[in-house]
Amino acid sequence: MKIVFSKYHGAGNDFILIDDFAENFPADNNELIRGLCDRRFGIGADGLMLLRSSAALDFSMLYFNADGHEGSMCGNGGRCLAAFALERGYVSTQKDIIFSAVDGEHRAHFRGETIVCLQMRDVAKIQKKGHGFCVDTGSVHHVEYVDNLVDIDICRRGRALRRHPMYAPSGCNVNFIKMETDGSLSIRTYERGVENETLACGTGSVAARANRLQPSV
């Protein structure tokens, strides 16, 4: 089977992108998707996305985690797919674009031809969970503040929280946050479906900032 693909990344969060307007890609083949995302025996990526047509919008986004299963919303993935749609000629930089994803519609616009700004859905509520907070930004995130991001065993702690009973049955993504002296946030994320730390996470960054902006936090 011949597969034509592109490889994009958003802040180091990398993806395999496939133009599937003709809907020829076997999206139900979890083993194939997992194999393509494998960093040793495949192309290697945090996830795979299909760019598909939409009757009412500019396009639709179908996202798969590296484990081969369809995932929740991916912010960096959405930015990459918008840039890919531009490269493929389906959209232009002259107006905002609107596309559908698993969590609903998203609006994006281009700053030049390399910067994509993506509107995320509103955060309805933030819940206290254990030593952190649960924030749903289209993907469920656990946000927990720590004093030291360098020495944290992110895979051990992240894996434990990702599968914690308080997030059953689907689990969550896990973000460890450090508040810097200049008011910025440093973040390390353990991603569900990748089952490892990723270099960046768009929905996780939004979750961290939304949590920080809460008056009660």
Calculate the CA 58 to chain-centre distance: 20
Residue 196 makes CB contacts below 8 A (sequence gap 6+) with: 155, 190
* CB-based contact 189:197 (threshold 8 Å): yes
Q: Is 74 annotated as catalytic?
A: yes
How is 22-89 classified by DSSP, letter by letter? T--S-TT-HHHHHHHH-TTTSS--SEEEEEE--SSSSEEEEEEETTSSB-S--HHHHHHHHHHHHHTT
N-term to C-term CA, the chain: 52
Distances (CA, A) of 128 to 54, 121, 133, 167, 211: 38, 20, 4, 12, 10
Given the residues 37, 74, 80, 172, the one annotated as active site: 74
* 28 CB burial (10 A radius; 0-12, 13-18, 19+): exposed
Q: Is 201 annotated as catalytic?
A: yes
Given the residues 37, 80, 134, 201, the one annotated as active site: 201
Calculate the CA 77 to chain-centre distance: 5
Show which residues are catalytic: 74, 201
